Protein backbone atom coordinates (compact mmCIF):
# COMPACT_ATOMS: atom_id res chain seq x y z
CA UNK A 1 0.00 0.00 0.00
CA UNK A 2 1.30 3.45 -0.84
CA UNK A 3 2.52 5.71 1.95
CA UNK A 4 -0.03 8.40 1.09
CA UNK A 5 -2.89 5.96 1.66
CA UNK A 6 -1.42 4.77 4.94
CA UNK A 7 -1.04 8.39 6.09
CA UNK A 8 -4.61 9.20 5.06
CA UNK A 9 -5.98 6.17 6.92
CA UNK A 10 -4.00 7.04 10.06
CA UNK A 11 -5.14 10.68 9.95
CA UNK A 12 -8.75 9.48 9.79
CA UNK A 13 -8.29 7.11 12.73
CA UNK A 14 -8.46 3.98 10.61
CA UNK A 15 -5.28 2.30 11.81
CA UNK A 16 -1.63 2.53 12.64
CA UNK A 17 0.89 3.53 9.98
CA UNK A 18 4.64 3.01 9.88
CA UNK A 19 5.98 5.92 7.84
CA UNK A 20 9.26 7.84 7.50
CA UNK A 21 9.73 10.85 9.77
CA UNK A 22 9.74 13.35 6.92
CA UNK A 23 6.31 12.15 5.74
CA UNK A 24 4.64 12.72 9.12
CA UNK A 25 6.63 15.60 10.63
CA UNK A 26 3.78 18.11 10.33
CA UNK A 27 0.92 15.85 11.54
CA UNK A 28 3.06 14.82 14.53
CA UNK A 29 3.96 18.39 15.45
CA UNK A 30 0.38 19.67 15.30
CA UNK A 31 -1.04 16.66 17.18
CA UNK A 32 -3.04 15.04 14.37
CA UNK A 33 -0.89 11.92 14.77
CA UNK A 34 0.65 10.42 17.90
CA UNK A 35 3.81 8.32 18.01
CA UNK A 36 3.46 4.69 19.11
CA UNK A 37 6.03 2.08 20.08
CA UNK A 38 8.85 4.64 20.32
CA UNK A 39 10.84 2.27 22.55
CA UNK A 40 10.75 -0.38 19.81
CA UNK A 41 12.63 1.77 17.31
CA UNK A 42 16.19 0.54 17.40
CA UNK A 43 17.92 2.81 14.93
CA UNK A 44 17.25 5.29 12.23
CA UNK A 45 18.45 5.00 8.67
CA UNK A 46 20.69 7.12 6.55
CA UNK A 47 19.63 8.65 3.26
CA UNK A 48 22.30 9.19 0.61
CA UNK A 49 21.92 11.09 -2.64
CA UNK A 50 24.34 10.08 -5.36
CA UNK A 51 24.76 11.58 -8.80
CA UNK A 52 27.41 11.47 -11.52
CA UNK A 53 30.39 13.74 -11.02
CA UNK A 54 30.32 16.84 -13.14
CA UNK A 55 32.23 20.09 -13.26
CA UNK A 56 28.91 21.93 -13.67
CA UNK A 57 26.08 20.22 -11.77
CA UNK A 58 22.62 20.46 -13.23
CA UNK A 59 20.55 23.30 -11.71
CA UNK A 60 17.59 20.92 -11.39
CA UNK A 61 19.70 18.39 -9.50
CA UNK A 62 21.10 21.08 -7.23
CA UNK A 63 17.58 22.38 -6.55
CA UNK A 64 16.41 18.87 -5.62
CA UNK A 65 19.33 18.30 -3.25
CA UNK A 66 18.80 21.71 -1.64
CA UNK A 67 15.06 21.03 -1.23
CA UNK A 68 15.66 17.62 0.34
CA UNK A 69 18.32 19.04 2.66
CA UNK A 70 16.15 21.93 3.84
CA UNK A 71 12.63 20.48 3.87
CA UNK A 72 12.75 16.70 4.00
CA UNK A 73 15.84 16.10 6.17
CA UNK A 74 16.38 19.40 8.03
CA UNK A 75 17.82 17.77 11.16
CA UNK A 76 20.61 16.03 9.28
CA UNK A 77 23.94 17.22 10.74
CA UNK A 78 25.71 16.69 7.43
CA UNK A 79 25.05 19.04 4.57
CA UNK A 80 24.59 17.96 0.99
CA UNK A 81 27.84 17.80 -0.91
CA UNK A 82 28.51 18.16 -4.59
Q: Residue 73 sits in which domain range?
A: 45-82
Say whether pTM exceeds 0.75: no
**53 shares its domain with 80:** yes
* pLDDT number for residue 28: 92
Q: State the number of CA atoms in the 13 A half-sphere of 30 facing the CB.
A: 5
Q: What is the CA radius of gyration of the chain?
A: 16
**28 shares its domain with 50:** no
Total domains in the fold of the chain: 2
Confidence check: pLDDT of 57 > 70: yes
Task: Quote the mean pLDDT of the chain.
Answer: 80
- What is the rounded distance in angstroms from the CA atom of residue 49 to the CA atom of residue 33? 29
**49 shares its domain with 25:** no
**49 shares its domain with 76:** yes
**52 shares its domain with 80:** yes
**50 shares its domain with 81:** yes
Name which of 55, 14, 59 is nearest 33 in CA terms.
Answer: 14
**34 shares its domain with 54:** no
Confidence check: pLDDT of 58 > 80: yes
Amino acid sequence: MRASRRLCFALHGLGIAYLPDFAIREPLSDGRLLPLLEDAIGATGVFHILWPASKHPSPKRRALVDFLSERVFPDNPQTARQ
